[in-house]
Amino acid sequence: MKSPVPILLALPALSLSNGLASRLAAQPAAPLALSSSNGSALSLSNGLALEDCLRLAGEKHPALAAAQAGVSAAGEAVGEAEAPFYPQLDLNAGYHRWQRRAFLPAGLSIPGRNIPDIIGPLDDWNGGLVSRVTLYDFGERRAGIDAAKARRAGAEADATATQADVRHNVHAAFYALAAARDLQVVAGKNLARTEAHQNLAEARQKSGAVPQADVLRTQAEVAAARLQLITAESRVRIATGRLNTAMGRAADTPLAIAVVSTAAPPPARPELEAAADRAIAQRPEIVSSEKRTEAARATVTAARAARSPRVRADAAFGWRDTALLPDTREWQAGLSIDLPVFDAGIRARRLARSKAELAREEAAFAHRRLQVRDEVWSAAAELERAWASIAANETGVRASEESLRIVRERYERGAAVITDLLDTQTALARAEGSLAEARWSYLAARAAFERAVGTGR
């Protein structure tokens, strides 16, 4: 029995010689052995395993760095919202030279002197400390903090969702690359079979058993098989670049992968039906949408409080004089109340806008819940389809192999024409390719289902 061959995805150019076709034909068409009843382990060596790719993506992907920066920014916004609860202290210093007209009461006089009409010009040097703090604002500051904290929680949920997306993209790209490699092996085996059939047709033509048309037909099939192999090689290179990109690396980075995993059957139908409720409870997108709604609700509270009076305390202490180093002390301390009277409708429009934004976020939250349920439903259906297709394709491959064996024997005896032989060969190649895709599509569908439920993190 042939041992499993590692799925190694390096990118040197492959020759299209008969020797290469023979080597590819010697490899098993389906390195991933999946059973429709029991999951079987995938034993492959060398190269990056899936967990290695996930680790590299976690270290290098710029989307994760951007999401983490968003969390940091949201955290700073919380501190910014808390600052108005503390006093502000400013250091002021300045210089002015001024002259003003003296407006004095009529009849006022200074014995022996004329009353001046102008005061100055004079130098005015000043410096000191000014402090102010809001004592009460009917909850506007507290609502601002609540909104900032909700946005921070939403940013953290978004970062978790981004991480889950990156991991899912790595899963999908990894399985796509493995499938492309399997399809390359299938194309190589098909080329080897086609060349063998060409040799058979040439031998029978030389013996006079078949016409030259059989040889020409097999030559055309060989050319088509070589083109399929070239296409398969190109798909491997493209899939390699996409996996590199999914990991946050340059597409042309050299890469080889090795799969070490277990292909277990899909969950039972009762578990699939309950998956939507689990997704609603644990998907980070749901948490993010909920936190955005909370932030919008707090913004409405802040906008409503902005129309209320504000009580402030302020104090100042400093020096002022006409000299560069003033020595005349000045100070003040007191309370003030600000009551909005007329602002051309700014506060009213701000409140109306905040209410509209809250309604938008509530509708978006409800829509997101529907989307999550639809994603889980679709992913579960695709998972069941992918699993069932494996058994169907395995049956198709076995039937096509036996059909090709029988038709080849009949052609060798002159009981079948070349069209029968090439048609059965094409059917086998198609079945092998479909089986390879089905096996990896199942793993991709399982990763998509876990992402939809919220467990693929």
CATH number for the domain harbouring residue 167: 1.20.1600.10
15-27: average pLDDT: 38
H-assigned helices in 264-345: 269-282, 284-305
3-state secondary structure of 256: coil
Cβ pair 28, 174 in contact under 8 A: no
Looking at residue 268, its pLDDT comes to 84
Of 97-111, 155-169, 210-224, the poorest mean pLDDT is in: 97-111
Cβ pair 201, 194 in contact under 8 A: no
pLDDT tier at 7, thresholds 50, 70, 90: very low
Q: Tell which residue, 230, 286, 204, 233, has the closest CA to residue 452.
A: 286
Looking at residue 118, its pLDDT comes to 86
| Owning domain of residue 68 | 40-86+138-308+345-453
The model's pLDDT over 387-420, given as tens digits with 9 standing for 90+, comes to 999 999 999 999 999 999 999 999 999 899 999 9
Tokens of 357: 């934004």
Tokens of 112: 């022996």
The model's pLDDT over 32-72, given as tens digits with 9 standing for 90+, comes to 333 333 333 333 447 899 999 999 999 989 999 999 999 99
In a domain, 396, yes or no: yes
Cβ-count burial of 68 within 10 angstroms (0-12 exposed, 13-18 middle, 19+ buried)? Answer: middle
Q: Tell which residue, 329, 335, 339, has the closest CA to residue 132.
A: 335
Domain count, the chain: 1
Could you give the CA distance from residue 457 to residue 452 in angstroms, rounded to a whole number?
A: 11
Looking at residue 2, its pLDDT comes to 37
pLDDT tier at 225, thresholds 50, 70, 90: very high
Q: Which residues, in sequence order, are CB contacts of 300 under 8 Å at separation 6+?
A: 351, 354, 355, 358
Could you give the CA distance from residue 440 to residue 392 in angstroms, rounded to a whole number?
A: 15
**In the predicted model, what is the mean pLDDT of the chain?**
87
Could you give the CA distance from residue 300 to residue 306 in angstroms, rounded to a whole number?
A: 10
273-295: average pLDDT: 93
Single pTM value for the model = 0.80
106-127: average pLDDT: 79
438-443: average pLDDT: 93
Cβ pair 130, 89 in contact under 8 A: yes
In a domain, 5, yes or no: no
Cβ pair 160, 451 in contact under 8 A: no
In a domain, 407, yes or no: yes
In a domain, 397, yes or no: yes
Could you give the CA distance from residue 20 to residue 229 in angstroms, rounded to a whole number?
A: 11
153-165: average pLDDT: 96
Q: How far is CA 304 from CA 34, 141, 181, 346, 350, in A?
A: 62, 12, 62, 12, 9
Alpha carbons within 13 angstroms on the beta-carbon side of residue 145 total 8
Angle in degrees, CA 326, 332, 335, rounded to 5: 160
In a domain, 384, yes or no: yes
Could you give the CA distance from residue 450 to residue 457 in angstroms, rounded to a whole number?
A: 9
In a domain, 418, yes or no: yes
3-state secondary structure of 29: coil
Tokens of 419: 């069209």
Q: Tell which residue, 100, 138, 190, has the closest CA to residue 306.
A: 138
Could you give the CA distance from residue 67 to residue 72 in angstroms, rounded to a whole number?
A: 9
In a domain, 7, yes or no: no
Could you give the CA distance from residue 319 to residue 331 in angstroms, rounded to a whole number?
A: 9
pLDDT tier at 102, thresholds 50, 70, 90: confident
Looking at residue 299, its pLDDT comes to 96
Q: Which residues, in sequence order, are CB contacts of 301 under 8 Å at separation 6+?
A: 139, 143, 146
Q: How far is CA 189 from CA 232, 278, 332, 341, 429, in A?
A: 12, 45, 93, 85, 8
Q: If you compute the radius of gyration of the chain from its CA atoms, what whole number of angstroms results?
A: 39
Looking at residue 23, its pLDDT comes to 39
Could you give the CA distance from residue 425 to residue 431 in angstroms, rounded to a whole number?
A: 10
Q: What is the DSSP string of 358-386?
A: HHHHHHHHHHHHHHHHHHHHHHHHHHHHH
In a domain, 434, yes or no: yes
Could you give the CA distance from residue 96 to residue 111 in angstroms, rounded to a whole number?
A: 32
What is the torsion angle, in degrees rounded to the nearest 10, for the CA atoms of residue 403, residue 405, residue 408 and residue 413?
A: -110
Q: Which residues pair with 89 in a beta bridge?
A: 131
